[in-house]
C-alpha cells in the first residue's frame, strides 16, 4: 500500500479513535457494573433469616392477553424487591409477543432476577388446560439447570406475592414441613362495592376445632427457629407499605382451611423432590384422583401437593397461620395475619355476581 494511501486512511481513523475509546469505556463500565451487582448479590445476606431463601426458582404462567400485562409487570416489579437470588421462568403460549412487550422493562435486562421463557406448543384448548399443566414439565427441565435453588414458587400472572409474605412462608415452613404440613397462603380481592378485602377462594368461614388446628410451640423446630430470630435482632423481613419495618416471626398456631385451593403453590427443594416422586405429579393421576373437594382439572394442577402425606384427621396438609386478638369472654379470638395473604389483582371473583367466591370478608374468614 502506498504511503499516500496509508495517510489517507489514517485521517478518518484518527477521528474515529475517540469514539471507539468511549464505546470501549462504556461497555467496560457496564460489564463492571454487572459484575459488581452479581458479586453484591452473591455476598448479600438476609441475616441468615432462613436457609430456604438462599436462591429461588419462580415459574409463572402467562396466557397471552394484552389486558393482563399491567398485572404481570406489577408481579415482576414486586419480585425485583426480593432480597435474594431469583430465577424467573415464564411459561407462555406467545413468547414472541410477550418478549417484545417486556423488552423495555428493567427485570428483562438485569442480572437479578434472571428472566427466561418457555414456549407452550400451540393448542386449541379453550380451557387453557395445556397452560395449567405445562409448568410441571418446565420445572422438570429447570430442576437440573438450577441445582442451587432452595425453594420454588409457581405463580399465576396476576398474584401479588410480597417479600415479607415470602419470608413468613419460609420461617413457618421450617417448622411445619417436618410435621408433613404445607404452609399455605390465602388470596384476597378488593370488594367492588366497599373497597375492603375479600377472600378469593374461601366460600364459608373456617371453624376452629381440634380436627383442623395445630399448635407448634412444643416442637423442637419451633424452638430452633425462634432462637435464631431472637439472636438476630437486626434482621429485616421487609417493610410495610408505609415504610415501617416488618418484624420477623414464626407463628404459633395454624388452621387447615376447609377448601384450601389457593391458585399458586410453594415448596422447599426437599418438598418439591417429594412431590415429583408422588403419582400426583403426573397428569393422569391428577385427573383421575378421587378427592373430597370440589376441584376441576385446572384447579388440581396447583392443588395436588396439598394432598401428599396428609396427616391423620386432616382433609389436606395445608396450614394457614393464626394470630390471637383480644380475648372475648375469656377466650382468645383468632384472625388471619396480613403476612399470610397475597392479592389477586385481576379481581375475578368479587366482581362476578353469580359466584360464592370473593364474597367473604377477610375479618369474617374465621
Residue 25: is its pLDDT beyond 80? no
What is the value of pTM for the model shown? 0.84
How many CA atoms lie within 13 Å of 270's alpha carbon, on the beta-carbon side? 11
Q: How is 11-22 classified by DSSP, letter by letter?
A: HHHHHHHHHHHH
Higher-pLDDT residue of 263, 166: 166
pLDDT category of residue 323 using cuts at 50, 70 and 90: very high
Higher-pLDDT residue of 275, 297: 275
Residue-wise pLDDT tens digits, 30-52:
444 343 344 334 444 455 789 99
Residues in the chain: 366
From 357, 343, 360, 365, select the one nearest 159 (Cα to Cα): 343
Mean pLDDT calculated for residue range 71-92: 92
Mean pLDDT calculated for residue range 314-319: 93
CA angle (278, 284, 288) in 5-degree steps: 95
CA distances from 109 to 122, 130, 174, 196, 306 (A): 28, 29, 33, 37, 36
Residue 7: is its pLDDT beyond 70? no
Query: According to DSSP H, which parts of the chain are helical?
Result: 3-43, 69-79, 95-102, 106-109, 129-145, 163-176, 220-230, 269-276, 283-288, 297-300
Q: Residue 108 has what pLDDT? A: 65
Q: What's the alpha-carbon Rg for the chain, to the nearest Å?
A: 24
Residue-wise pLDDT tens digits, 99-111:
999 987 765 666 7
Residue-wise pLDDT tens digits, 123-142:
666 666 667 778 888 898 88
Q: Residue 22 has what pLDDT? A: 43
From 24, 27, 156, 37, select the one nearest 106 (Cα to Cα): 37
From 122, 121, 79, 124, select the one nearest 102 (Cα to Cα): 79
Q: What are the percentages of helix, strand and coil residues in the chain, rounded to 5?
A: 40, 20, 40
How many CA atoms lie within 13 Å of 159's alpha carbon, on the beta-carbon side? 25
Q: How far apart are CA 363 and CA 334, in angstroms?
A: 10
CA distances from 365 to 145, 161, 199 (A): 41, 20, 7
CA angle (357, 360, 363) in 5-degree steps: 150
Torsion of CA 208, 314, 160, 237, to 10 degrees: 80
Q: Residue 75 has what pLDDT? A: 93
**336 Cβ contact partners less than 8 Å away, ≥ 6 residues apart:** 186, 320, 321, 322, 323, 362, 365, 366
Q: How far apart are CA 66 and CA 36, in angstroms?
A: 35
From 87, 77, 84, select the one nearest 107 (Cα to Cα): 77
Q: Residue 214 has what pLDDT? A: 95
pLDDT category of residue 13 using cuts at 50, 70 and 90: very low
- Classify residue 17 by burial, with Cβ atoms within 10 Å: 0-12, 13-18, 19+: exposed
Q: Residue 354 has what pLDDT? A: 84
Q: How is 231-284 classified by DSSP, letter by letter?
A: T-TT----B-TTSPBPPP---SEEE--SS---S-EEEEHHHHHHHHTSGGGSHH
Q: How far apart are CA 2 and CA 259, in angstroms?
A: 86
Strongest mean pLDDT among 37-46, 230-239, 240-249, 265-274: 265-274
Do the beta carbons of residue 117 and residue 99 sit within 8 Å? yes
Residue 292: is its pLDDT beyond 90? no
Do the beta carbons of residue 310 and residue 273 sit within 8 Å? no
Query: Hunting for cell 431463601 — which residue is that?
Result: 53
Other CB atoms within 10 Å distance of the CB of residue 65: 13
Q: What is the mean pLDDT of the chain?
A: 82
Torsion over CA: 253, 360, 131, 129 (sign): positive
Amino acid at each position: 500500500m502506498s504511503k499516500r494511501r496509508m495517510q489517507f486512511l489514517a485521517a478518518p481513523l484518527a477521528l474515529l479513535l475517540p469514539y471507539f475509546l468511549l464505546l470501549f469505556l462504556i461497555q467496560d463500565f457496564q460489564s463492571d457494573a454487572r459484575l459488581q451487582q452479581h458479586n453484591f448479590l452473591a455476598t448479600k445476606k438476609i441475616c441468615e433469616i432462613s436457609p430456604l431463601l438462599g436462591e429461588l426458582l419462580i415459574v409463572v404462567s402467562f396466557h397471552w392477553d394484552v389486558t393482563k400485562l399491567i398485572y404481570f409487570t406489577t408481579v415482576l416489579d414486586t419480585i425485583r424487591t426480593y432480597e435474594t437470588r431469583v430465577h424467573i421462568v415464564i411459561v407462555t403460549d406467545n413468547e414472541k409477543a410477550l418478549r417484545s412487550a417486556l423488552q423495555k422493562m428493567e427485570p428483562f435486562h438485569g442480572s437479578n432476577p434472571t428472566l427466561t421463557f418457555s414456549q407452550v406448543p400451540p393448542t386449541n384448548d379453550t380451557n387453557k388446560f395445556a397452560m395449567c399443566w405445562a409448568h410441571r414439565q418446565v420445572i422438570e427441565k429447570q430442576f437440573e439447570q438450577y441445582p442451587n435453588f432452595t425453594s420454588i414458587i409457581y405463580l399465576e400472572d396476576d398474584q401479588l406475592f410480597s417479600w415479607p409474605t415470602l419470608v413468613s412462608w419460609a420461617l413457618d415452613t421450617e417448622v411445619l414441613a417436618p410435621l408433613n404440613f404445607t404452609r399455605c397462603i390465602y388470596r384476597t380481592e378488593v370488594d367492588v362495592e366497599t373497597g375492603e378485602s375479600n377472600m378469593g377462594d374461601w366460600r364459608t368461614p373456617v371453624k376452629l376445632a381440634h380436627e383442623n388446628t395445630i399448635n407448634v410451640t412444643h416442637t423442637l423446630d419451633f424452638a430452633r427457629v425462634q432462637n435464631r430470630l431472637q439472636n438476630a435482632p437486626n434482621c429485616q423481613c421487609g417493610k410495610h407499605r408505609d415504610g415501617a419495618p416488618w418484624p420477623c416471626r414464626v407463628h404459633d398456631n395454624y388452621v387447615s382451611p376447609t377448601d384450601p385451593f389457593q391458585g399458586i403453590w410453594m415448596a422447599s427443594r426437599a418438598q418439591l423432590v417429594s412431590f415429583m416422586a408422588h403419582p400426583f405429579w403426573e397428569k393422569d393421576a391428577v385427573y383421575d384422583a378421587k378427592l373430597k373437594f370440589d376441584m376441576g382439572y385446572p384447579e388440581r394442577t396447583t392443588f395436588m401437593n396439598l394432598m401428599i402425606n396428609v396427616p391423620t384427621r386432616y382433609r389436606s396438609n395445608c396450614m394457614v397461620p393464626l394470630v390471637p386478638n383480644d380475648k372475648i369472654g375469656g377466650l382468645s379470638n383468632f384472625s388471619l395475619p396480613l403476612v399470610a395473604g397475597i392479592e389477586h389483582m385481576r379481581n375475578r371473583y368479587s366482581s362476578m355476581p353469580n359466584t360464592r367466591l370473593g364474597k367473604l370478608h377477610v375479618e369474617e374468614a374465621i
